[in-house]
Amino acid sequence: MSAPYTSPLAEALAPGLLERFQRYVRVATQSRRDRERSPSTPGQRELGELLVGELREIGLADAALDEHGYVMATLPGDGPAIGWIAHLDTSPDAPGDGVEPIVHRDYDGGVLALPRGGTVLDPEQMPELRGAVGHDLVTASGDTLLGADDKAGIAAIMTAVAHLAAHPELPRPTLKVAFTPDEEIGEGATLFDIERFGARCAYTVDGSALGELQDETFSAAGAVVTIEGHDVHPGFATGRLVNAARLAAEVVAALPADLTPEATSGRDGFIHVYEVRATAARATIHAIVRDFDDERLQAHADVLRRTAETVVGREPRARVTVDVFPQYPNMRRFLEGHPEIVGRAEAAMRAEGIEPVRTPIRGGTDGSVLSQRGLPTPNLFTGGHEFHSVREWASVQEMAAAAATLVRLAGGWAGA
Ligand SMILES: [Zn+2]
């Protein structure tokens, strides 16, 4: 049995990391889309309090949970203040309470059947499993997500900070740690106090496969098309009824079929209609628009606007309004001027024996908004896979590699 660790450091960090990870995933921290306060659910605050206690025990005396559910703490060092960020919440898109993690030692490359829900992890369907033969895998029990997104990131940061605190001889800059609520509902960065955090740049630890290093996200906009018809009792409707529901259906059908998430990949953007609410009197079409390029994003939004105005414009008695609003920007433009931020992450991975994988994210991270607000923040891998599903799994070896990469990243920034 030779578990394939990326380094002796990663191997040494693994047992403590696994213990932390199993503790964190058991706290129910799913966020809720209809949030009335921050955090949207009490479990996130519970995990925040647990982490504050552990950070203080490690020696980060200023660790605290703020009124909005953000954990922040400092490990003093030599050099600029550098941030490490992970999110407390898990996705509302799959059941997430009552997580019971299972460790599958020395994965043999076959099908993993989980005890509940008939859930099966099959390398035929999930090719990333093939890269994890010989690893120790963690899954949930089949009827919940695991929550490696992003508790693998939290465990990696906690493990790296604990290691550095226990080894004062190791070089490190001043390290700022933050754990954020409600990332999965797009609110992780909104109440983040960048000034109090006081870092020059940061890294979210919220990626997936070994070596992922992401400094590019979608640019994102939301859109709402509202159609006002004219409702009349159908018995008296001849020549008078203007049916907003039918017009909404025509608008959706007229949108380009090759400009959807299901028909695009790589660097191509899309228009995604995710909700239509309609009565004869009034209809709303909710869509998101995405692209890596801001001009193309604008062009997609224009397609949506023109389509709605053209289709509804054929019925002069109907009215249409199209509201397009920005959501988050591609972080690349905020990182381009600071090549050392990504450069030091690449160097840390290489020192850990990992070849960096630079993939653009077909989505956003807390770092998209933080970068825009003045805290440049690329994203690093965690070793978690199949996020937001009951088939979610994580590799102990890859999570340990993430923690070891952070230790090396600290070394790279020391005295900078
Ligand atoms: Zn995440």
Structural domains of the chain, with CATH: 8-216+330-413 (3.40.630.10), 219-328 (3.30.70.360)
Report how far ligand 1's centroid is from the alpha carbon of 151 (Å): 9
Q: How far apart are CA 59 and CA 241, in angstroms?
A: 70
Report how far ligand 1's centroid is from the alpha carbon of 154 (Å): 10
pLDDT at 389: 95
pLDDT tops 90 at residue 403: yes
14, 160 Cβ separation under 8 angstroms: no
pLDDT at 247: 98
Q: Residues 111-158: pLDDT tens digits?
A: 999 999 999 999 999 999 999 999 999 999 999 999 999 999 999 999
Across 8-36, average pLDDT: 97
Across 2-10, average pLDDT: 88
Query: At 26, is the pLDDT very low, low, confident or very high (cuts 50, 70, 90)?
Result: very high
The whole-model pTM stands at 0.90
pLDDT at 365: 87
Q: How far apart are CA 370 and CA 189, in angstroms?
A: 6
Across 96-103, average pLDDT: 96
pLDDT at 3: 65
Report how far ligand 1's centroid is from the alpha carbon of 93 (Å): 12
What share of the chain has pLDDT > 70, as a percent?
99
With 0-12 / 13-18 / 19 or more C-beta atoms within 10 angstroms meaning exposed / middle / buried, residue 13 is buried
- The pairs formed by 25-28 with CB atoms below 8 angstroms and a separation of 24 or more are 25/99, 25/101, 25/140, 25/146, 25/147, 25/148, 25/151, 26/99, 26/100, 26/101, 28/96, 28/97, 28/98, 28/99
pLDDT tops 60 at residue 2: no
- For the annotated catalytic residues, the residue numbers are 89, 183
DSSP-assigned letter for residue 99: -
Q: How far apart are CA 374 and CA 337, in angstroms?
A: 12
pLDDT at 1: 47
Report how far ligand 1's centroid is from the alpha carbon of 180 (Å): 11
Question: Half-sphere exposure (CA, 13 Å, Cβ side) for 21?
Answer: 38
Report how far ligand 1's centroid is from the alpha carbon of 224 (Å): 26
Report how far ligand 1's centroid is from the alpha carbon of 387 (Å): 8
* Other residues' Cβ atoms within 10 Å of the Cβ of residue 376: 23
> Would you report the helix, strand and coil content of the chain in percent, each value rounded to 5?
35, 20, 45
Q: Residues 231-259: pLDDT tens digits?
A: 999 999 999 999 999 999 999 999 999 99
Residue 141: C-alpha distances to residues 35, 103, 208, 371, 393 (Å)? 28, 10, 20, 37, 11
Alpha helices in 4-101 (DSSP H): 8-25, 42-58
Report how far ligand 1's centroid is from the alpha carbon of 397 (Å): 19
Report how far ligand 1's centroid is from the alpha carbon of 149 (Å): 5
> Which residue carries 């590019």 as its tokens?
216
Residue 313: C-alpha distances to residues 242, 286, 299, 309, 310 (Å)? 12, 19, 20, 5, 5
Q: How far apart are CA 255 and CA 222, in angstroms?
A: 16
Report how far ligand 1's centroid is from the alpha carbon of 135 (Å): 22
Mean pLDDT of the chain, nearest integer: 96
335, 200 Cβ separation under 8 angstroms: no
Q: Residues 359-394: pLDDT tens digits?
A: 898 988 889 999 999 999 999 999 999 999 999 999
